[in-house]
């Protein structure tokens, strides 16, 4: 569903399909305001052909969502990739292992190896995003 706004129920509720809400923003401050107001944090999808264009979004999203998709819709990964979430999307610490995970931050940046543009953007993020910088 295109042109979803923050006033819509579809914008406020966590989606598990078969619908994909698309919200459009004209500047980064609108995105960060929406992130601050949100209670959930499963995934985000960013569409671009330039790594520099999304680097600041990756930085902002890396502590808010569990998976950042590049040029691909949100979806389930193969079981070898962790399915993580943040905020109310990640409730349910059940064991010491889960507690350790709750204090760790796992974020997946996903780009299809078959999509040359997405692969280029993902590789270019290391030059522009502080999130991927070495410790």
Q: Is 62 left (phi over 0), alpha (psi -120 to 50) or beta?
A: alpha
Whether residue 133 has pLDDT greater than 60: yes
Contacts of 93 (CB under 8 A, 6+ apart): 99, 101, 102
Q: What is the pLDDT of residues 69-127, one digit of tens each?
A: 899 877 766 555 555 666 666 654 345 566 666 677 777 888 888 999 999 998 888 88
This prediction has a pTM of: 0.56
Contacts of 120 (CB under 8 A, 6+ apart): 49, 51
Q: What is the pLDDT of residues 32-68, one digit of tens each?
A: 888 888 877 778 889 999 999 999 999 988 888 878 8
Strands 108-110 and 43-46: unpaired
Instruction: Give the HSE-up count for residue 68: Cα atoms under 13 Å, Cβ half-sphere.
Output: 24
């Amino acid at each position: 569903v295109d042109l979803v706004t923050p006033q819509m129920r579809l914008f406020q509720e966590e989606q598990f399909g078969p619908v994909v809400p698309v919200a459009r923003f004209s500047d980064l401050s609108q995105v960060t305001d929406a992130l601050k107001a949100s209670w959930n944090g499963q995934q985000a999808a960013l569409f671009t052909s330039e790594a520099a264009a999304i680097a600041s979004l990756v930085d902002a999203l890396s502590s808010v969502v569990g998976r950042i998709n590049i040029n691909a819709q949100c979806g389930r990964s193969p079981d070898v990739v962790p399915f993580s979430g943040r905020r109310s999307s990640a409730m349910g610490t059940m064991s010491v292992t889960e507690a350790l995970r709750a204090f760790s931050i796992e974020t997946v940046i996903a780009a299809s190896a078959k999509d040359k543009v997405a692969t280029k953007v993902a590789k270019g993020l290391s030059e522009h995003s502080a999130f991927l910088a070495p410790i």
